[in-house]
């Protein structure tokens, strides 16, 4: 499919779920995935909850030695949708999700009802400085260097 899309001569983003399913059965070669897909899901669907966001972040950090080198311009690890503007995250948790997705150079796809989103969530999703980090031309995904849990925010 990737080869057929590339032969069209049009700019197309091809998103795959191949790694998500392949990982359940064997080791995934993410460098190979990046040869065929522009974006790939690594984990199951996100829920509108901090626990779900945290699980995805922890999973991504656990595999970062494999994931980060495969990512770059035209090739992005996809931790799933931003749930910013829904009702499962506090504002601080929304800020954290936006920052982490930006650092991961992840696709910024929203999963919310634009008729119901708060002005604060809208402003967060439109924050040009955070988007600039996500859209850096080098496309380098950040690494988690340290994990510190100091209060109930991260655990809630």
Share of the chain above pLDDT 90, in %: 69
Least confident of 24-33, 49-58, 90-99, 106-115: 24-33
**Is the separation of the CB atoms in 113 and 48 below 8 Å?**
no
Please report, for the chain, the start and end positions of each structural domain, with discontinuous segments joined by +. Answer: 2-155
Q: Which of 43, 54, 131 is nearest to 88 (CA)?
A: 54
| Termini Cα distance of the chain | 41
For residue 24, what pLDDT band results from cuts at 50, 70 and 90? low
Q: Which fold is adopted by the domain 2-155?
A: TIM Barrel (3.20.20)
Please state, in angstroms and rounded to a whole number, the distance separating the CA atoms of residues 145 and 143. Answer: 6
Q: Which of 28, 150, 43 is nearest to 101 (CA)?
A: 43
Q: Which of 58, 101, 111 is nearest to 78 (CA)?
A: 101
Q: What is the pTM of this model?
A: 0.88
Please state, in angstroms and rounded to a whole number, the distance separating the CA atoms of residues 9 and 27. Answer: 32
pLDDT of residue 148: 80
**77-130 tens-digit pLDDT:** 999 999 999 999 999 999 999 999 999 999 999 999 999 999 999 999 999 999
Span 24-40, mean pLDDT?
A: 86
Task: Classify the C-alpha dihedral 155-82-78-22 as positive or negative.
Answer: positive
**60-78 tens-digit pLDDT:** 999 999 999 999 999 999 9
């Amino acid at each position: 499919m990737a080869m057929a899309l590339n032969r069209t001569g049009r700019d197309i983003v091809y998103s795959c779920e191949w790694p998500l399913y392949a990982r359940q059965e064997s080791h995934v070669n993410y460098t190979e995935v990046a040869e065929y897909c522009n974006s790939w899901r690594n984990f199951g669907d996100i829920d509108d909850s901090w626990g779900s966001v945290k699980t995805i972040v922890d999973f991504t950090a656990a595999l970062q030695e494999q994931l980060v080198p495969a990512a770059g311009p035209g090739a992005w690890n996809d931790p799933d949708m931003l749930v910013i503007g829904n009702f499962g995250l506090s504002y601080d948790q929304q800020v954290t999700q936006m920052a982490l997705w930006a650092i991961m150079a992840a696709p910024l796809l929203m999963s919310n009802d634009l008729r119901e989103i708060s002005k604060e969530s809208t402003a967060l999703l439109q924050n040009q400085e955070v988007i600039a980090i996500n859209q850096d031309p080098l496309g380098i995904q950040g690494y988690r260097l340290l994990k510190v849990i100091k209060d109930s925010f991260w655990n809630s």
